Amino acid sequence: MEGIRFDFNPMMAEYVGEHGIARADMEDMQASLRAAHAMVEQNRGKGMQGWMDLPYNQDGVLTAIEEAAKRVRDTFESFVVLGIGGSALGPAAVHQALRHLHYNELPREKRGGPRLYIEDNIDPERMAALLDVIDVRTTCFNVITKSGGTAETMSQYLIVLDLLKKAVGDDYRRHILITTSENKGFLIKIARQEGYETFYIPDGVGGRFSELCPVGLLAAAVTGVDVRALVAGAREMDQRCLGDDPWKNPALFEAGLMVAAMRKGANISVMLPYADSLKLMSDWYAQLWAESLGKNLTLDGKPCHVGQTPVKALGVTDQHSQLQLYTEGPFDKVITFLKVDAFRAETPIPHGCEDVPTIAFLGGKSHNQLIEAERQGTEYALYRAGRMCQIISLPAVNETTVGQLLYFFELVTAYAGALLNIDAFNQPGVEESKLAAYAVMGYDSEKHAAKREEMKNRPARHPDYMF
């Protein structure tokens, strides 16, 4: 199977002009790139880099996932993922990529598996809407939380537990599958008490690096994805990126380019797939890139405030929305095209409107040609405007290429973190928001009571600024 390909030419000054990266910059980075590679490799499988083992160590887990998935497929009409952040974005991206774009609307025999809902928010209207379209008596809920205590996910658990008990009595346990840490958090204790079937998130696998463990693989298997091929794709990418020569390791080269771009002031990374199936890859990437690299301290504790803001876009839709900014706005972006060589459908455009040349030229062509022509047009417009771009081509969107793509971005993130000398695997900056929210919710602890008091000390809102 042909692998995904990378064209970094439009990142380079040689191609795109003064706003690109000079070859000399990449050559000057050789030593630091090799050091970043060494650091990532030294920690393979250790600390929070357990995700690097996932392509190799899951044979038994895959069998258990396939067995559970078969039971769910045979028994339930709906499968609901309750999770947020890394516990939801990967499953959603893979589902969108590998299943029918209107999967839930297909008749059961075409779907093969239950309908899938990924509930990654606590908007009360959303929960109400979900309950309007599922029947809890025929629904299996997969509660996914690594920490086992995330308020959003656990509040959803409490809601469905109550509903299930009312609807199916003691049978509720059969409707709940748990994915959580084996040795940490409260959910594992609840799971053991209740006797729920449970899958483990390995300790060294953080939320945003967890798609290729049961977090993502269970929902994928339930909807009929070949999860072994997905993991094999990741393995292929890992093998391709083993060496420390940046000119031979595309993930290392990409990390170098992105860090060089950040140093030139390109603080925005636009993910621009030209395929609806890859639309949610941008959401998954946004979390990976933002939460991993947005840090205010280096590994040796010095202030740094680094990171690159991810922007989610979609071709061709955003040509009619954001492209104007990309071509003429500030030189602060890198644009990453995700291109698909062979789509899984062919949509011919019939002849018609023969007397209107601006429409007639489309007749006899196809949407497949048009979307690629528009992608090329955008790439050319960005080239003319001297903007940094890169093109990642997938021969087709399938389990192998999606596994490759996921693992590629995980590796790039790890290398970029090492280059920036930051901890790419923590997220201290989200703690304050959680603490404050729990304080507002009346959490009864000294820490939360102190936070409630502290929050009262904010400046008063001035009426001049309120309308």
Q: How many residues bind ligand PA5 (CB under 6 A)?
A: 14
Nearer to ligand PA5, 51 or 76 (CB): 51
Site for ligand PA5 in 223-262 (CB under 6 A): none
SS3 of 325-394: HHHHCCCCEEEEEEEEEECCCCCECCCCCCCCHHHHCCCCCEHHHHHHHHHHHHHHHHHHCCCEEEEEEE
Site for ligand PA5 in 74-103 (CB under 6 A): 84-87
**Tokens coding 253:** 């080269």
- Alpha-carbon distance 152 to 157, whole Å? 9
Q: Which stretch binds ligand PA5 (CB under 6 A): 45-53, 122-130, 143-151, 293-301?
A: 143-151
Query: Rounded to the nearest whole angstrom, what is the least distance from the CB of residue 159 to ligand PA5 in the complex?
Result: 16
Query: Rounded to the nearest whole angstrom, what is the least distance from the CB of residue 200 to ligand PA5 in the complex?
Result: 13
- Alpha-carbon distance 367 to 347, whole Å? 5
Q: Which stretch binds ligand PA5 (CB under 6 A): 15-23, 135-143, 146-154, 166-174?
A: 146-154
> Which residues have a catalytic role annotated?
291, 320, 434
Cβ(405)–Cβ(4) under 8 Å? yes
SS3 270: strand
Query: Rounded to the nearest whole angstrom, what is the least distance from the CB of residue 177 to ligand PA5 in the complex?
Result: 15
Q: Which stretch binds ligand PA5 (CB under 6 A): 16-24, 64-72, 140-148, 378-386?
A: 140-148
Query: Per-residue contact track with ligand PA5, 35 to 74, x per CB under 6 A?
Result: ----------------------------------------
Tell me the H-state helices in 241-298. Answer: 250-263, 279-293
**Rounded-to-10 torsion of CA 122, 128, 130, 133:** 180
Query: Rounded to the nearest whole angstrom, what is the least distance from the CB of residue 357 to ligand PA5 in the complex?
Result: 52
Task: Give me the residue whose beta carbon is nearest to ligand PA5.
Answer: 207
Nearer to ligand PA5, 202 or 256 (CB): 202
Q: Is 294 in the site for ligand PA5 (CB under 6 A)?
A: no
Which member of 37, 146, 240, 333 binds ligand PA5 (CB under 6 A)?
Answer: 146
Tell me the H-state helices in 20-88. Answer: 23-28, 30-42, 59-75
Q: Which helix (H) or strand (E) holds 220?
A: helix 214-222
Nearer to ligand PA5, 208 or 279 (CB): 208
**Tokens coding 380:** 């050319």
Q: Is 150 in the site for ligand PA5 (CB under 6 A)?
A: yes
Which distant-in-sequence residues (6+ apart) come within 8 Å of 345 by Cβ? Answer: none
Sign of CA dihedral 378, 382, 387, 389: positive
- Alpha-carbon distance 60 to 62, whole Å? 5
Nearer to ligand PA5, 43 or 147 (CB): 147
Sign of CA dihedral 144, 147, 149, 152: negative
Site for ligand PA5 in 118-137 (CB under 6 A): none
Q: Is 307 in the site for ligand PA5 (CB under 6 A)?
A: no
Cβ(327)–Cβ(385) under 8 Å? yes
Nearer to ligand PA5, 101 or 430 (CB): 430
Nearer to ligand PA5, 153 or 404 (CB): 153
Query: Tokens 């979307």 appear where?
Result: 371
The two beta strands, 5-7 and 388-396, are antiparallel
Site for ligand PA5 in 168-207 (CB under 6 A): 206-207
- What single-letter DSSP state applies at residue 304? E
Which member of 236, 254, 291, 399 binds ligand PA5 (CB under 6 A)?
Answer: 291
Which member of 58, 96, 145, 223 binds ligand PA5 (CB under 6 A)?
Answer: 145
Query: Rounded to the nearest whole angstrom, what is the least distance from the CB of residue 291 to ligand PA5 in the complex?
Result: 5
Which residues sit at the interface with ligand PA5, rule CB under 6 A? Answer: 84-87, 145-147, 150, 153, 206-208, 291, 427
